[in-house]
Amino acid sequence: MRWAILCIVSVSLFPQTVPPQFQNLHTDANDYTCTGTVPCATWPMPLLPEPGKAFADPNFGTNTWRLAAPLTGDQAMSTYSRVQAWNSDNTKMFLIDGQGYATLYDATTTPPTFINRITSDVGYVLPASLDVLWAYTDPKRIYYVPNPSSGRGLELRYLDISLCTSQNCALTSVLVHTFACVSDAIGSDVVAGTPGNQIETGSGAQGGMFDKTDRYFSFTCDKYDGSGRHEIDFVRYDRQTDTVTYQDKWYKVCPGQIPSGCAVWKTYKRNLLRMNQHPDQRFTTVIWQCGSRDSGWSRGCGTELYDPGYNYLGVVSPANTHQDVGFDIHGTPVWVGVGAGRNNLADERSISVTDLTAVQPAALTYKTILLPCSYSRQPTCTGTSLGAKSGSSHISMTGSWGSQPGYGLLSTMILAGQAYANGLAANYPPGTTLGTDVLPGTQEVTPASMSQIAVGVVSTIGTGTAMESVTWTAATASTATATFTKPHAANAVVTCLSCGDTGFAAMENFALQIDATLPDGTAGKFWRIGRTMAIRDNYYNAEPHTAVNRDFTAIVWGSTWNVDLLSNGPVYAFWTRLGAAAPPVGPTFDVVVNNVGNGSADNCRGTYQQGESFKCVLSNPGNLIQISGCGGTRSADGTTYSATVVVSCAVTAQFNWQTPGDVQAAAASRSWVTGVVLLALLLALVLFALWRLRWRRQHQRKP
């Protein structure tokens, strides 16, 4: 009996081995960004891959492909961390393109292949702002809610994606059910009797509208207008019986069944909540749009748990932090959130886990998993981080919804740059100064220190409204060249923006084991996948929002790829396959292009596999003086320059500084001068002929 008990304990503590797709990933907390100097050889700052091309990360041993999105200039991104991007058998995937529409990909190819933009006969298919979600049980089906401006925002519909082809993806939708709601005089800031016009889980992209059987749907019925969402009713719908099993005013879940019973009502009168139906139909989380530390929690604030009849079960978290729901390593339904609210130094490096089967109505039951100390900015830790690493990182549990429960995916970024909080930047390494007065244009400067400057590094120059971000295009031991859009004095501060955080998980994707049975404060088990290269600045869509497929063998995210985009795009989509199934990528090398004068060969700049060929198309070949580098040759017509990549190399193209207009004007001028000269010569010949004729007449002998 004693032996049997020990065996049971052993099985409980070690329920399974490490997933094979994680076995070659880093599990240490080493700094793979920089170790003292920036930039450093151990941190590659690769050029943006061309669509369909891969970047082989030498530090993490993973291969990442940039995905094509041809309808929007190859701009695309994942919907959100808690929105499942893959269908139920991982054969199809949808992303958001640069205009906000759902775009379909063939996920069986490497990398996933763009098929088409998904359009419908009723409303728009807009995952960023509306509920657009793959079915759990049917790989061909996407459930969606049309936009309210279509007049059909109260309808639940689905699309058959098997009918989408590269030639035509205009699909005929199927109506599931039409809902209705009307505001009262108590719980809304719109006039009583106002009909709702939208069903939703809260501003779209919430990730959970129905359970894993595709039967039970949980959402709100709202009035949506230019000022936001005016919540009216909570709704529960049984698709199998086509019946609404619960519908009542949102505030009926609050203490006293009055709006003021929920703390959120004291601050907001609209945009009150987000809702997330767990794959387990027994649980729905309501994310009230207010939060606090543990000691300040009250009902109707933070994240709360409800049953299918919207009966309150208990508090999940005092915070409305970035979060997701899924299953832990034992298959237990859990909630997972970024950070903790205990007001101690461990909060920033905590991942909170709540066992949804064990919540309490008035007591916090979440436990924390601790990430390495260098994840957060603390005086006792090595490395540094921006506050955004703990406050704005995202957790995805979509990989736990299928055959591989028990693992979440953390994605981190930089929240810094000239448009964000007057340039909040990493506090390590210390900045330098420009060293040279500059005016707008391309100019060489002499920084006080070159330790943070190299080709490809993005730096912020100056402070406040005078700040701008530049990318260094050339560097020597004491000089650096960039293109400036603003004037700066020699003492302007230079901060290395793309150097990012140092320490563990700086701008990274990494997997984390989720086990709700472990003691509070247990050190996390993690597997590091690679860098997100994401600089957010003031552009929300630049956050990675990494999502995971249904068996945790592939991830997809959006990134600026080490570029400061200020308050707008572009953002590109990247895909990484994990494990032995990942196709090998040979050595890759960067091709850089240096242009001098009025012309360009930049279209061949990029990362290439060894032995791969590239072709530079010259933008102004008539101005080219000479082009060399990478062992290439110029075409017979002089319009292109081609080479085969052997090592990283640079193409240098020297052009005349004249513009095409200058060349045309000069040619026209030369033509005019030539014409005048020829006309003068002709006139001289005519005059000479006339003079000669007259002379002959005068000197002819008379008879």
Residue 669 CB contacts under 8 Å (≥ 6 apart), including other chains = none
Q: pLDDT per residue over 315-353, tens digit each? A: 999 999 999 999 999 999 999 999 999 998 888 889 999
**Higher-scoring residue by pLDDT: 628, 235:** 235
**Higher-scoring residue by pLDDT: 9, 157:** 157
Q: What is the dihedral of CA 308, 309, 315, 317, to 10 degrees?
A: 50
pLDDT at 71: 95
**Higher-scoring residue by pLDDT: 367, 390:** 367
Q: pLDDT per residue over 494-530, tens digit each? A: 887 766 556 678 789 999 999 999 999 999 999 999 9
Residue 607 has pLDDT above 80, yes or no: no
Residue 421, token pair as written in the block: 């909080």
**Higher-scoring residue by pLDDT: 701, 609:** 609
Question: Which amino acid is located at 626 in the chain?
Answer: Q
Residue corresponding to tokens 């009542």: 248
Q: pLDDT per residue over 162-189, tens digit each? A: 999 999 999 999 999 999 999 999 998 8
For residue 52, the SS3 value is coil
Starting at the edge strand found earlier in the chain, the sheet holding 458-461 runs 432-433, 493-496, 458-461, 468-471
pLDDT at 36: 47
Q: If you average pLDDT over residues 551-562, what whole number do you get?
A: 93
Q: If you average pLDDT over residues 362-374, what whole number do you get?
A: 93
Q: pLDDT per residue over 102-140, tens digit each? A: 999 999 999 999 999 999 999 999 998 899 999 999 999
Residue 652, token pair as written in the block: 């240098």
pLDDT at 465: 82
Q: What percent of the chain has pLDDT over 90?
A: 56
DSSP 59-85: TTTEEEEEPP-GGGTT-EE-S-TTS--
Nearest to 505 by CA among 411, 377, 576: 411
CA distance linking residue 531 with residue 634, whole number of Å: 37
pLDDT at 457: 79
Give the chain's mean pLDDT.
86
Dihedral sign from CA coordinates of 113, 115, 117, 121: negative
Residue 81, token pair as written in the block: 């961390």
Q: If you average pLDDT over residues 685-702, what whole number do you get?
A: 69
CA distance linking residue 474 with residue 481, whole number of Å: 5
Q: pLDDT per residue over 477-492, tens digit each? A: 899 999 999 999 999 9
Q: pLDDT per residue over 33-90, tens digit each? A: 655 454 454 455 677 889 999 988 878 889 999 999 999 999 999 999 999 999 999 9
Nearest to 516 by CA among 333, 701, 274: 333
- Helix or strand holding residue 604 (H, E): none
Tell me the domain boundaries of the chain.
Answer: 21-75+321-428+499-584, 432-496, 588-655
Give, in degrees to the nearest 5, the angle at Cα 373 between 370 and 377: 115
Longest C-alpha distance within the chain, in Å?
Answer: 157
Predicted structure pTM score = 0.82
Range 600-606 contact pairs with CB under 8 angstroms and sequence separation of 24 or more: 600/653, 601/627, 601/641, 601/651, 601/653, 604/641, 604/651, 605/47, 606/47, 606/48, 606/49, 606/50, 606/53
Residue 386 has pLDDT above 60, yes or no: no
Nearest to 144 by CA among 197, 186, 102: 102
Residue 11 has pLDDT above 60, yes or no: no
DSSP 11: H
For residue 96, the SS3 value is strand
Q: If you average pLDDT over residues 451-460, what whole number do you get?
A: 79
pLDDT at 5: 33
Q: If you average pLDDT over residues 156-167, what whole number do you get?
A: 97
Nearest to 537 by CA among 565, 557, 559, 558: 565
